[in-house]
Structure 1
């Protein structure tokens, strides 16, 4: 297969932990041709979506890990698969990128995850579709509503709807210290909608990332454990990742959501679970492949490429 990865600059990859690199390495090991491009490389010209795409080989050198074979403007429909792996922020540029990819789909490209599905699944708001698995949650820009939610639950997490890596997350305890300031800052004085969730004490045991591939859960989660008094377990915020088998509740959540999300065109999803509660549904560029594989021996990248091959080589119908 010819597989094109839409990603951030390759020069910035930390290949010892990068999930996109793990995908590339496994695909190359199987003999697939690997290509890469950035969102800024895409163009719509005379109705056709193309990109300045680099064909690359993997060198095996950790310091200089790839080499460009050739680079050319190529219609995205010429690839067997286009893998959307651009990291957030999920801003309007990101949205424009998904719209270009959707146009490319109309011209025959096969894009994973499906661009319209990425747009339709805000990583925070999507949990509302599965409220039987969530802690008490409020989404609002109203200071009055947000204050009332805190008054009811007494210990609350506030966070933006477009954040990543734990950025902008605040915990307000029973004393309400800085409640007004946090609400004013996150909502920009009522101009932006945010999320409030009842604090889940089980965060001390980790914010679990459960990967679901083609509707099936990876059997191990990565519990990202907060450090040094932090409330955030995100690896980008200093959390320490510890792989562990899925609990009964983890598997219940993953097996309930997996087929639903796969049917919507989401080949790869990262569910975030704290204790027994679903907190996020990550669809842009879920990570933690290498951490799980390194600690357990379970080859997540192989499971992903297996699923990709089934979708492309066996032409699984999309719904």
Structure 2
């Protein structure tokens, strides 16, 4: 198959941990042709189809920390997305206006016959913070609001809370306010901007000390191991980007319960790959744009997450 990866610039890949690279390596091992472009290169012109200037990649077999010669590339010129076998959308967040526009171009490509994973419409319909609202039975006490008064009332009720922006990634902009309410006003000024921006507030979950678990769900089925991202050095954030330590472990019965309830629902909407974030027994986030942690789980457990994903991708393409 010809597999097109719409991704961040190849020069930015950290191949020792990059999940998109793991996908590419497994696809190449199976004999699939690797193509790549950036979302900025997608375009459409009247009378034509959604196209991009593609690169054909050949992997060199080199990878690891600091390795930048992991591929060679051949420029193919203009290619319609409908002329490849699968388009894998792996552009990292933030989900800003340009990401939004890219999903519309990818949606147009779908209408022209392209197979896109994850589905562009599903990417738009499942903002990563707000998607949990569909599954309230699995989440901690949560408030979404633009009102500072609502936040203060929620804090008075819960006493220990986490505040986060809706468009954050990698743990950016996450604050904890304890029972004493110290700095709540300043944090609200920063995040809420006098009611101009909607934020999410949740009860603080002390189980974060044991890790913010990333549970990968592929075609509705949970990967049997998760990556617990454990905060370090007094941090409240377990995100790897914020210095968290990643420890792979088998998923718990509660993790499986959550994944098996949510996974098939999202898979039916075109979300082939989902990353669920769970702290303790509570779902905190549903990641759909570019879920990661493939290599960390594989390296520590031997379970080949990339192989599971490429198998699911092959099956999805065959069923179209």
Could you state the TM-score of these two structures normalised by the residue count of structure 2?
A: 0.98
Give ranges in structure 2 of 5+ residues lacking alignment. none
Q: Does the CA-based 8 Å contact 2:53-2:75 persist in structure 1?
A: no
Secondary structure of the corresponding residue to residue 173 of structure 2? coil
Q: Does the CA-based 8 Å contact 2:6-2:39 persist in structure 1?
A: yes
Match of 2:93 in 1: 88
Q: Does the CA-based 8 Å contact 2:294-2:305 persist in structure 1?
A: yes
Match of 2:18 in 1: 18
1:41 matched to 2:50? no
- Structure 2 CA distance, aligned partners of 1:140 and 1:290? 36
- For residue 184 of structure 1, the aligned residue among 171, 175, 189 is 189
Match of 1:50 in 2: 51
1:123 matched to 2:90? no
CA RMSD of aligned residues (A): 0.7
Q: 1:313 deviation in Å? A: 2.0
Q: 1:69 deviation in Å? A: 2.5
- Structure 1 CA distance, aligned partners of 2:189 and 2:195? 7
Describe the superposition over 1:8-51 as per-residue Cα deviations: whole angstroms up to 9, x where unpaired: 00011000100000000000000000000001111111252100
Match of 2:211 in 1: 206
Secondary structure of the corresponding residue to residue 185 of structure 1? helix
1:110 matched to 2:115? yes
Describe the superposition over 1:161-183 as per-residue Cα deviations: whole angstroms up to 9, x where unpaired: 01000000000000000001111
- Structure 1 CA distance, aligned partners of 2:58 and 2:198? 44
Question: What does 1:112-261 correspond to in 2, within 5 Å?
Answer: 112-261=117-266
- Structure 2 CA distance, aligned partners of 1:11 and 1:114? 26
1:98 matched to 2:103? yes
- Structure 1 CA distance, aligned partners of 2:200 and 2:319? 41
Q: 1:189 deviation in Å? A: 1.2
Match of 2:70 in 1: 65
Q: Which runs of 4+ in 1 moved over 2 A?
A: none
- Structure 1 CA distance, aligned partners of 2:82 and 2:319? 17
- Structure 2 CA distance, aligned partners of 1:305 and 1:129? 28
Q: 1:204 deviation in Å? A: 0.1
- Structure 2 CA distance, aligned partners of 1:30 and 1:269? 23
- Structure 1 CA distance, aligned partners of 2:192 and 2:6? 32
- Structure 1 CA distance, aligned partners of 2:74 and 2:151? 54
- Structure 1 CA distance, aligned partners of 2:205 and 2:51? 46
Secondary structure of the corresponding residue to residue 23 of structure 2? helix
